[in-house]
Structure 1
Amino acid sequence: MQKKNLALTIPNIENNLFDIAGVRVVCSFTEDIYSLADSFLSQDDVRLIEKKDYIQNPKENGYHSLHLIVEIPIFLSDEKKWVKVEVQFRTIAMDFWASLEHKIRYKKNLSKERLDEIDKELLECAKICKTLDEKMEEIKTGN
């Protein structure tokens, strides 16, 4: 809430934080991501709030994933409450890259020059992972 410059109140948290709870779904193929996401969103107790497709529109650093911010019901002793949750869908290659990128890039005291080098190398690795996902999809479909 401090990063958003908002008061620490329950209404502010409920209306402005969407990743208090999260789930990551790791799929074998990119095609599976969209199929599973569609199936998930077709449930009558899941409300789509926002969709961020970093597969079709990767981040500058090469990050690929499909993020859905949804509302789902939770059942308390005296009420049903809708809670925002982030669901991330990735392939095995995307998950591998993102996990290692986080370990390599963050929480280290590295010089600006070294961080720039790492960013270039990670972008190259992200491209390799995308190519790998495409190749595996081709092998699966026989094309």
Structure 2
Amino acid sequence: MSGAELKKVGLKVTLPRLKILEILESAGEDHHLSAEDVFKILLEQGEEVGLATVYRVLTQFEQAGIVRRLNFENNVSIFELDTGDNHDHIVCIKTGRVREFVDSVIEERIQEISKELGYDLSGHNLVIYGAYKEELDPAIK
């Protein structure tokens, strides 16, 4: 997302907004970041942006539809870019690592349940919690 796209969603282009957006876009596989994670990355990059500014920018991004705020059982909000896709999350109760997954059977069943109960589904949020079995992939901890 560029400065022009920030303007398009009604946000003024500022250096903190651009830097935070850049961090979110370049986060790779572990792209579920807390405000504190973003703040630490900014510090590592030598940027002088306060934690309050990070929270404010992330909230503005959420209101503009740029990011989604996710709240899990640890009461810490994490943020991910809102790519418009539909996916669910699984959280390791040991490490707090969040992974995404898509399962067509689950998606279909959610649609069926909504219909059976007389609801027009507008969205859903499925979070699974468990302890990751390291022997499956020792590189992931």
TM-score, length basis structure 1: 0.30
Structure (1 or 2) with the greater strand fraction? 1
Q: Which protein is bigger by CA-based radius of gyration?
A: 1
Structure (1 or 2) with the greater helix fraction? 1
